[in-house]
Amino acid sequence: MSQELDALYQEIILDHYKNPHHAGLREPFEAEVHHVNPTCGDEITLRVHVNDGVVDDVSYDALGCSISQASASVMTDLVIGRTVDDALSIHEEFLTLMQGKGSVEPDEDVLEDGIAFAGVAKFPARVKCALLSWMAWKDATARSLEASAR
Amino acid sequence: MIPGLLPELQVIRKDFPILERTLAGGQPLVYLDSANTSQKPQVVIDAMVDHLERHNANVARAMHQLGAESSEAFEAARDKVAAFLGAPERDEVIFTKNASEALNLVANTLAWAGPRQLREGDEIVITEMEHHSNIVPWQLVAQRSGATLRWFGLTDDGRLDLSRIDELITERTKVVSFTWVSNMLGTVNPVAELTRRAHAVGAIVVVDASQAAPQLPIDLAAMAPEERPDALVFTGHKVVGPTGIGVLWGSRALLEELPPFLGGGDMIETVAMERSTFAAIPHKFEAGTPPIVEAVGLGAAVDYLRSVGLDAVHEHERAITAYALEGLATVPGAKVLGPLDAAERGGAISFELAGVHPHDIAQVLDVRGVAVRAGHHCAKPAHARFGVQSSARMSSYLYTTPEEIDAFIEALHYTRSYFKVA
Ligand SMILES: Cc1ncc(COP(=O)(O)O)c(C=O)c1O
């Protein structure tokens, strides 16, 4: 019984949940978005600062379950300091993992701590939790790029 | 044994085939999500299957024996629902798709031309503990009509704050709409008192009985006219009936004043290309082929509840709820939202567990076969009022046993140890 739970709640996830990285809202930023999961009410406010094609900072204020909180923390670790293009391809990779219903083998070189979410993909009700911050980041990044293009 | 439990509880459980199934890992099912949707007894399932196997035809428009049988079954369901509510007249019972559609029917038709049409300067009064289905339709109607939406706030212990009633219910008030029993806090609201106050200023009263109909005896005809709401809605799937069907009961006076809602077959008297005239109630509000087999199922469902006895169901809910509240008090960090006295609340208990998010609670419980709900339960404003973003909710029904509550409480202790908050 606890095996099944342990597949979902990997130690890495619980660690990020208890000690989230890059939490809080910071300046500067070009775009701020607010995303909610309408079924459970989980929320995130997220800011993106892009400088010269590089994700300089991602800051956030999130309310939600362990999966959604840990996912935001892992996501910031993965995208901050990367070029937007690299970060977007990591986003793609994470999305594929989450939508794979448990059949996708995660690549640790790309996803690092993100591989801990492989088990979440087997719990359809929780996939949205894991994707909330990633979707918010993609949206905010697109808006940052638009803002700087103007 | 706990006093108040249904004496034939084990027999009742046998009526619900789903309660025998097991879940992943051979776990027995502990279904504590009945406020979300109730399970169905065999008689309801059989009534629906029998209708489909033997009597299926359209109603009101089929000129053959099956058509007559189907129409008779459909209208018999209306009689059963009328008896269940103690409706003064059976034609005051309108079948809808669910409670949400019933509330939208009333709200929308109040915005359209007619003697009750809402206008600028008029006020609609609701409460902060409503389900979204009794908030959003009124917001939309307020926007369209220019009327103003106002609401009762809540006290810290989860009751309606009636201290401002004189400021809220005034001669500008045209509609007062509120839930009888809260789906989040479990609070039972004072229907008679609120209705009397609203009627005194000439407002109509709409009661959302989605959580009341499953567990409280309702007798509309027995209510004093000044304390009887003008409309009352509930949804089939929470009263051991099927999904796809809900009920709007409205007084004849109100239903005759409201313009038709949806146009279509069966709701007309005569149609010419320029204009149409409309059928009398209930058909005026039932455009198109209705949910026939669902109505048959609902009829069987309310008959089933009446045969058990709504007073007995209510007693059982109170006993189980009291037992669950006692159990929750033994779980460190558990905090119940809403009144703590089982005598004054319905059978839904929303709670928080310090250090564990509601989603995570529900997940751990699910692995142990205990089904509860997590989230905002379609009552975001009520959660916001208590400064919480979401909660977990256990809700019992006439088939819930004390042993299931024990399993639930034990699973909460396990949840705390799993997340190391112990
Ligand atoms: C108090 C209350 N009102 C309205 C509803 C809406 O019911 P339905 O979704 O069947 O329309 C519910 C159930 O979710 C409820 O609990």
B209 & B125 share domain: yes
B298 or A103: which leads in pLDDT = B298
Q: Per-residue confidence at B293, pLDDT binned at 50, 70, 90?
A: very high
The whole-number pLDDT of residue B62 equals: 74
* Contact state of B359 with A43 under an 8 Å Cβ cutoff: no
Residue B407: inside a domain: yes
Does position B342 have pLDDT exceeding 90, yes or no? no
Q: In A, which residues are within 8 Å of B374 by CB distance? A: 40
Interface ipTM > 0.95: no
* Contact state of A64 with B418 under an 8 Å Cβ cutoff: no
Reported as half-sphere exposure (CB side, CA atoms, 13 A), residue B361 has a value of 28
Contact call for residues B174 and B156 (beta carbons, < 8 A): no
B53 & B130 share domain: yes
Best CA proximity match to B192, nearest among B238, B228, B152, B153: B228
Contact call for residues B416 and B332 (beta carbons, < 8 A): yes
B285 & B328 share domain: no
Residue B223: inside a domain: yes
Contact call for residues B155 and B163 (beta carbons, < 8 A): no
Enclosing H/E stretch for B207: strand B204-208
Residue B222: inside a domain: yes
The whole-number pLDDT of residue A69 equals: 95
B319 & B352 share domain: yes
The whole-number pLDDT of residue B422 equals: 72
Residue-wise over B1-37: b if at least 16 C-beta within 10 A, else e? eeebbbeebeebbebbeebeeeeeeeeebbbbbbbbb
The whole-number pLDDT of residue B413 equals: 97
Beta bridge partners of B177: B206
Residue B3: inside a domain: no
From the alpha carbon of B378, which atom of ligand 1 is closest? 14
B86 & B121 share domain: yes
Which of B368, B376, B389 faces A1 most closely, judged by CB atoms? B368
**Alpha helices (H) in B170-279, listed in sequence order:** 191-200, 252-257
Which of A41, A66, A67 faces B375 most closely, judged by CB atoms? A41
B239 & B351 share domain: no
Interval B304-334: pLDDT, tens: 999 999 999 999 999 999 999 999 999 999 9
Burial of B288 per CB tally in 10 Å (0-12, 13-18, 19+): exposed
Interval B270-287: pLDDT, tens: 888 988 889 999 999 999
Interval B107-147: pLDDT, tens: 999 999 999 999 999 999 999 999 999 999 999 999 999 99
Does position B89 have pLDDT exceeding 60, yes or no? yes
Distance between CA atoms of residues B293 and B45, nearest Å:
10
Distance from CA of B373 to the nearest CA of A (A): 10
- Catalytic residue list of B: 378
Q: Between the CA atoms of B192, B196, B199 and B200, what dihedral angle is there, to the nearest 10 degrees?
A: -170
Q: Coil, helix or strand for B244?
A: coil
Does position B417 have pLDDT exceeding 80, yes or no? yes
Q: Residues for chain B: how many in total?
A: 422
End-to-end CA distance of chain B, in Å? 31
Domain with B368 in it: what CATH number? 3.90.1150.10
Q: Which of A3, A34, A40, A120 is best to mutate for the B interface (most B CBs within 10 A)?
A: A40
The whole-number pLDDT of residue B400 equals: 98
Q: Are strands B123-127 and B173-179 parallel, antiparallel or unpaired?
A: parallel
A43-51, strands of its sheet edge to edge:
A31-36, A43-51, A54-63
pTM of the model: 0.94
Q: Would you state the structure tokens that stand for residue B380, as one six-digit string?
A: 């975001």
Q: Which domain holds residue B168?
A: 45-306
B294 & B184 share domain: yes
B128 & B234 share domain: yes
B81 & B186 share domain: yes
The whole-number pLDDT of residue B63 equals: 86
Count of Cβ atoms closer than 10 Å to residue B196 Cβ: 15
Enclosing H/E stretch for A16: helix A11-18
B226 & B125 share domain: yes
B145 & B193 share domain: yes
Distance between CA atoms of residues A76 and A66, nearest Å:
16
Answer with the one of B259, B281, B306 that is the final residue of a domain.
B306
Region label for B10, one of left (φ > 0), alpha (ψ between -120 and 50) or beta (otherwise): alpha
Contact call for residues A115 and A74 (beta carbons, < 8 A): no
Residue B2: inside a domain: no
The whole-number pLDDT of residue B421 equals: 87
Contact call for residues A30 and A57 (beta carbons, < 8 A): no
Enclosing H/E stretch for A69: helix A66-79
Is the CB–ligand 1 distance for residue B251 below 6 Å?
Answer: no
Q: Would you state the structure tokens that stand for residue A81, as one six-digit string?
A: 């300091």
Q: What percent of chain B has pLDDT over 70?
A: 100
Does position B298 have pLDDT exceeding 80, yes or no? yes
Give the count of domains, chain B: 2
Best CA proximity match to B106, nearest among B268, B286, B255, B289: B255
Q: Would you state the structure tokens that stand for residue B362, as one six-digit string?
A: 């529900």
Answer with the one of B306, B325, B348 that is the final residue of a domain.
B306
For residue B133, how far is its CA from the centre of ligand 1 (angstroms)?
7
The whole-number pLDDT of residue B420 equals: 87
Cα-Cα-Cα-Cα dihedral sign, residues B165, B384, B395, B238 = positive
Interval B232-285: pLDDT, tens: 999 999 999 999 999 999 999 999 999 999 998 888 888 889 888 899 999 999
**DSSP, residue by residue, B279-303:** PPTTGGG--SS--HHHHHHHHHHHH
- Would you give the DSSP letter of residue B187? B
Q: Would you state the structure tokens that stand for residue B23, as one six-digit string?
A: 């879940």
Domain with B255 in it: what CATH number? 3.40.640.10
Count of Cβ atoms closer than 10 Å to residue A2 Cβ: 12
Residue type, B235: T
Residue B341: inside a domain: yes
Residue B1: inside a domain: no
Burial of A150 per CB tally in 10 Å (0-12, 13-18, 19+): exposed
Interval A53-107: pLDDT, tens: 999 999 999 999 999 999 999 999 999 999 999 999 999 999 999 999 888 899 9
Rounded CA Rg of chain B: 22
Residue type, B275: R
Which residue, chain included where needed, has tokens 């803002």?
Answer: A147
The whole-number pLDDT of residue A1 equals: 57
Distance between CA atoms of residues B214 and B230, nearest Å:
20
Residue B154: inside a domain: yes
Averaged pLDDT of chain B: 96
Residue type, B241: G
Contact call for residues B344 and B123 (beta carbons, < 8 A): no
Contact call for residues A9 and A70 (beta carbons, < 8 A): no
Contact call for residues B231 and B87 (beta carbons, < 8 A): no
Instruction: Specify the residue with its C-alpha closest to ligand 1, atom 7.
Output: B99
Q: What percent of chain A has pLDDT over 90?
A: 81
Interval B214-237: pLDDT, tens: 999 999 999 999 999 999 999 999
Instruction: Specify the residue with its C-alpha closest to ligand 1, atom 12.
Output: B210
Q: Per-residue confidence at A40, pLDDT binned at 50, 70, 90?
A: confident
B77 & B94 share domain: yes
From the alpha carbon of B181, which atom of ligand 1 is closest? 1
Distance between CA atoms of residues B149 and B134, nearest Å:
12
B33 or B268: which leads in pLDDT = B33
Answer with the one of B272, B287, B306 that is the final residue of a domain.
B306
The whole-number pLDDT of residue B266 equals: 82
| Range 376-395 of B in CB contact (< 8 A) with A | 376, 380, 383, 389-390
From the alpha carbon of B246, which atom of ligand 1 is closest? 10
